[in-house]
Amino acid sequence: MKVINIDKEKWASGVESLTSTYRLFGPVKEDDSHNFKELKKGELPDLAYGNSKLSPKSAVFPPSEAMFTYSLDEKNENHHILNDVKKDYSPRAVLGIRPCDAKAVSLVRMNFDTKEYRDPYWMDAFEATTFVGLACDNPCSTCFCTSTGCGPFSEEGLDVLLVENGNAYIAKALTAKGEKLMDAAGFKTAGDDSAIAAKKAAAEAKITASIETDKLSEKVIMDLYDAPIWDDISFSCINCCTCTYACPTCWCFDIQDENKGLSGVRMRNWDSCMTPLFTMHGSGHNPRSQKKQRVRQRFMHKLKYFLDKYQKGIMCVGCGRCVQQCPVNIDIRTVSKKMNDYVAAS
Amino acid sequence: MENPYKAYPVRIDSIDVATQDKSLRTFKFVFLNEGDEEKFAYESGQFAELSIPGKGEIPIGIASSPTEKGFVKFTVFRTGLVTNHLHNMKVGDIMGVRGPLGNSYPLKDLEGKNIVIIGAGFAFTTLRSTIVYLLDPKNRSRFGNIDVIYGARNPGMILYKDELTVWEKRDDINMHITVDSTDDPSWTYHTGFVPTITETQAPKADENTYAIMCGPPMMLKFTKPVLDKLGYSHDKIIMSLENRMKCGIGICGRCNIGKELICKDGPVFTLEQLKHMPEEDT
Ligand SMILES: Cc1cc2nc3c(=O)[nH]c(=O)nc-3n(C[C@H](O)[C@H](O)[C@H](O)COP(=O)(O)OP(=O)(O)OC[C@H]3O[C@@H](n4cnc5c(N)ncnc54)[C@H](O)[C@@H]3O)c2cc1C
Ligand code: SF4
Ligand code: SF4
Ligand code: FES
């Protein structure tokens, strides 16, 4: 680990130097909110943001992405055969990702990089990416990252952590990838990280919301599944899917062929377990035809199935997006408390 | 490492109408590229994604047996977008097969055991694969008694009729074929639902006897209590499940039941395992 001092006046020229070797992604203000976008030439990430509306997961997992192309023209020698799509996996960097969102990337990696299969699209993008995090000094009222095994200064999943310190950023280059990026930006001045501990404690103290999960691992899946809590929890859900699209740890996708004339592209698109079509069989039978079943699936996946499967905590980093954006105020912290407190009648 | 989403290109080698109502067809595919057949080494009970560029992919159980070389075979029911398109394709058409996917029937563990195979409707495909595998001269002696209970709505809906007739005549397999009902006076086999026939024809349970079951939800629901009554313990009842799928490799998040992904942890489970998994319909 290397500590580097970045004078804020040098930030813009450093970012400019990066553009010769990296594609840059960062928070950009659009209307009344921020989202992560690929930065245009000369554009700087807006580091004065609180939390982006959608998570930055799209930097490695775009909402829509081509998998293969094909020709349907029988005169074409290779018709009906899948061709790889040429993709740009040259080095890219996400500037200003929040620590919670970076931890989310490392949780999601467990899904895309398994013993048996490696998802080439997600993994190639991930491996090409350097994650430059920005510690949170002013968490939102809906943030509860300190009770999800994360925190406003968490380093998990990051290559560099930037901490704002007056006229400078204290940069901790945490990995070789991070050091390389600092070099490429020309950020070389040795720094001092002694100010970080106090800032970290101050930020953590501002987070008063929390999620109760301590008893979830000892519960039995079937007990929670059959618990009489789901009708109440799901009652007001309108299945708008906002929670799943905004969430940094949701990864479900659909695969669809899109044709134009005699050629086409096999695409993969974000999908959501909150829609009935997600599980509809060809026969018309649907194991999750009711919203109660779908809402239960979402929370059971995040708070129990994932926990039991990987033993790496819950599939939620406490970014608060779903809490903030759910139009009917369904709150994962309330749901988790109900699950955590539930005792099955014996 | 190869892209697990990329299908092997195949050519349709033959298409056979499999039932009188033409709702099922059996497709035989040959691999276009040398070496792909070897890479597609599979076991009975596994499935594959049939990949039709321009239409999409569908998970279908592999109906051929690993002992059959030179092709791979699937029997497909016409129901929606992709299956309808497939039913209209011709011999010689090019498409893709991606897999093999999922786990398989635990046939290695069943060596030396008696096996009763119970199937109904068109969920007989991977069971056909299993039977062909078990009856292969290289394999048959490694297994005990084999019983097969197979039911269809009526005689016209019976799959793989020619093979069933041949197996009927063999003395190393006991076939119990049934139809729900028929007005065909020449029908010489059983009449009645699979659970009923199972009750009278299945061997009694013992330490050495396992049941492999695949069929529509209703048939499974009513056959389970019969097997209970016959004394089959739940770790000796092996079943294959279905759910809507996309990736088939445990990544897209679509097909879970509880923490298990049907496409990767399954589709084959024992009834004992299923008892600890939610029934999603409730
Ligand atoms: C492990 C497994 C083995 C199967 N084996 C066979 C078999 O041997 N023979 C057979 O005829 N059918 C089998 N099925 C069912 C078959 O996959 C569906 O009938 C088929 O996907 C319907 O596709 P469609 O495009 O015609 O229907 P649509 O309703 O138009 O479906 C659109 C898409 O949804 C998905 N989908 C819809 N229904 C199902 C379903 N039941 N299971 C999985 N995905 C679905 C597919 O991606 C499909 O392309 C199997 C299913 C599974 C999961
Ligand atoms: S955001 Fe709220 S209303 Fe919309 S699907 Fe999620 S829980 Fe339901
Ligand atoms: S479940 Fe909600 S709070 Fe947790 S990571 Fe997802 S969007 Fe953030
Ligand atoms: S089909 Fe994608 S996870 Fe099972």
* Residue B252 located in a structural domain: no
Whether B56 sits inside 8 A of A67 (CB atoms) is no
Q: Look at residue A121 in the predicted model and tell me its pLDDT.
A: 97
Alpha helices (H) in A31-119, listed in sequence order: 99-112
In chain B, residues with a C-beta closer than 8 Å to the C-beta of A310 are none
Instruction: Tell me, yes or no, whether B89 and B119 share the same domain.
Output: no
CB of B244 sitting under 6 A from ligand 1: yes
* Residue B256 located in a structural domain: no
Whether A81 sits inside 8 A of B96 (CB atoms) is yes
Instruction: Tell me, yes or no, whether B138 and B78 share the same domain.
Output: no
* Residue B282 located in a structural domain: no
In chain B, residues with a C-beta closer than 8 Å to the C-beta of A251 are 253
Instruction: Tell me, yes or no, whether B127 and B233 share the same domain.
Output: yes
Q: Quick one: which H or E segment has residue A75? A: none
How far does residue B261's CA lie from ligand 2's centre (Å)?
24
Nearest by CB to B259, from A221, A251, A256: name it: A221
Instruction: Tell me, yes or no, whether B92 and B183 share the same domain.
Output: no
For residues B230 and B199, is the Cβ–Cβ distance under 8 A? yes
CA–CA separation, B94 and A270 (whole Å): 29
B273 and A CB contact within 8 Å: no
DSSP-derived secondary structure letter, A272: -
Number of domains present in the structure of chain B: 2
- Domain's final residue, options B240, B255, B274: B240
Whether A255 sits inside 8 A of B57 (CB atoms) is yes
Nearest-atom index, ligand 2, CA of A238: 3
In this structure, the number of other CB atoms found within 10 A of the CB of residue B81 comes to 13
Rounded to two decimals, the pTM is 0.93
Q: Look at residue B64 in the predicted model and tell me its pLDDT.
A: 97
Q: Which residue has the tokens 């009222």?
A: A141
The parent domain of residue B57 ranges over 8-100
How far does residue A103's CA lie from ligand 3's centre (Å)?
12
> Coil, strand, or helix at residue A141?
coil
Q: What is the mean pLDDT of each run of 10 residues along chain A (346 residues)?
A: 94 95 95 93 91 94 97 94 96 97 97 96 97 94 93 96 95 97 95 93 93 94 94 95 96 97 97 94 89 95 96 95 95 96 86
- Domain's final residue, options B67, B100, B133: B100
CB of A57 sitting under 6 A from ligand 3: no
Instruction: Tell me, yes or no, whether B96 and B29 share the same domain.
Output: yes
Give helix A332-341 / helix A291-300 axis angle, nearest 10°. 80
| Dihedral angle, C-alpha B265, B271, B273, B279, nearest 10 ° | 80
Instruction: Tell me, yes or no, whether B66 and B118 share the same domain.
Output: no
In this structure, the number of other CB atoms found within 10 A of the CB of residue A324 comes to 17
Q: Is the pLDDT of residue B281 over 60?
A: no
**β partners of residue A165:** A168
Q: In this predicted model, what pLDDT tens digit does every residue of A162-185 receive, in sequence order?
A: 999 999 999 999 999 999 999 999
Amino acid sitting at position A54: L
A127 and B CB contact within 8 Å: no
How far does residue A317's CA lie from ligand 2's centre (Å)?
18
| Dihedral angle, C-alpha B31, B32, B35, B41, nearest 10 ° | -20
For residues A248 and A331, is the Cβ–Cβ distance under 8 A? no
A220-223: Cβ within 8 A, 24+ apart: A220/A344, A221/A300, A221/A304, A221/A305, A221/A308, A221/B258, A221/B259, A221/B276, A221/B277, A221/B278, A222/B276, A222/B278, A223/A342, A223/A344
Q: How many helices (H) and strands (E) are present in chain A, helices listed first? A: 12, 11
> Coil, strand, or helix at residue A76?
coil
For residues A134 and A162, is the Cβ–Cβ distance under 8 A? yes
Which backbone phi and psi does B3 adopt, to 5 degrees? -70, 115
Tokens (6 digits) for A116: 């048996």
Amino acid sitting at position B92: G
**β partners of residue A29:** A34
* Residue B12 located in a structural domain: yes
With bands split at pLDDT 50, 70 and 90, how would you rate the model's confidence at B184?
Answer: confident
Instruction: Tell me, yes or no, whether B118 and B96 share the same domain.
Output: no
Closest residue by CA, ligand 1 atom 37: A282
Q: Look at residue A114 in the predicted model and tell me its pLDDT.
A: 95
For residues B262 and B242, is the Cβ–Cβ distance under 8 A? yes
| Dihedral angle, C-alpha B252, B253, B255, B258, nearest 10 ° | 160
Nearest-atom index, ligand 1, CA of B78: 26
In Å, how far is A323's CA from the nearest CA of chain B? Answer: 22
Closest residue by CA, ligand 1 atom 27: B80
Nearest-ligand number for the alpha carbon of A114: 4
Q: Look at residue B217 in the predicted model and tell me its pLDDT.
A: 82
Whether B251 sits inside 8 A of A111 (CB atoms) is yes
Instruction: Tell me, yes or no, whether B81 and B126 share the same domain.
Output: no
Q: Is the pLDDT of residue B282 over 60?
A: no
CA–CA separation, B49 and B76 (whole Å): 12
* Residue B245 located in a structural domain: no
Q: Which residue has the tokens 């086999």?
A: B189
Radius of gyration of chain A (CA): 22
Closest residue by CA, ligand 2 atom 8: A237
In Å, how far is B260's CA from the nearest CA of chain A? Answer: 8
Q: Quick one: which H or E segment has residue A263? A: strand A263-270
Whether B253 sits inside 8 A of A251 (CB atoms) is yes
Q: Look at residue A345 in the predicted model and tell me its pLDDT.
A: 81
Q: Is A343 exposed, middle or buried (0-12, 13-18, 19+ CB in 10 A)?
A: exposed
In chain B, residues with a C-beta closer than 8 Å to the C-beta of A297 are 256
Mean pLDDT, range B237-243, rounded to an integer: 93
Instruction: Tell me, yes or no, whether B39 and B156 share the same domain.
Output: no
CATH code for position B42: 2.40.30.10
Instruction: Tell me, yes or no, whether B90 and B145 share the same domain.
Output: no
Nearest-atom index, ligand 1, CA of A285: 41
Q: Look at residue B31 in the predicted model and tell me its pLDDT.
A: 97
Instruction: Tell me, yes or no, whether B139 and B93 share the same domain.
Output: no
Q: In this predicted model, what pLDDT tens digit does every residue of B149-180 receive, in sequence order?
A: 999 999 999 999 999 999 999 999 999 999 99
CATH code for position B179: 3.40.50.80
* Residue B76 located in a structural domain: yes
Q: Is the pLDDT of residue B280 over 70?
A: no
* Residue B22 located in a structural domain: yes
Q: Look at residue B218 in the predicted model and tell me its pLDDT.
A: 85
Q: In this predicted model, what pLDDT tens digit does every residue of B118-136 receive, in sequence order?
A: 999 888 999 999 999 999 9
CB of A52 sitting under 6 A from ligand 3: no
Q: Look at residue B1 in the predicted model and tell me its pLDDT.
A: 57
A283 vs B213, which has greater pLDDT?
B213
CA–CA separation, B129 and B119 (whole Å): 12
B243 and A CB contact within 8 Å: yes
Instruction: Tell me, yes or no, whether B123 and B87 share the same domain.
Output: no
CB of A246 sitting under 6 A from ligand 3: yes
For residues A266 and A65, is the Cβ–Cβ distance under 8 A? no
CB of A120 sitting under 6 A from ligand 2: no
CA–CA separation, A182 and A167 (whole Å): 18
Strand extents, DSSP E, chain B: 8-17, 24-31, 47-52, 56-61, 72-77, 94-101, 114-120, 146-152, 174-179, 190-191, 209-214, 237-240, 256-257, 260-261, 268-270
* Residue B43 located in a structural domain: yes
Whether A67 sits inside 8 A of B55 (CB atoms) is no
- Write out the DSSP string of B175-238: EEEEES----TT--SEES-HHHHHHHHSPPP-TTEEEEEE--HHHHHHHHHHHHHHT--GGGEE
ipTM over 0.90: yes
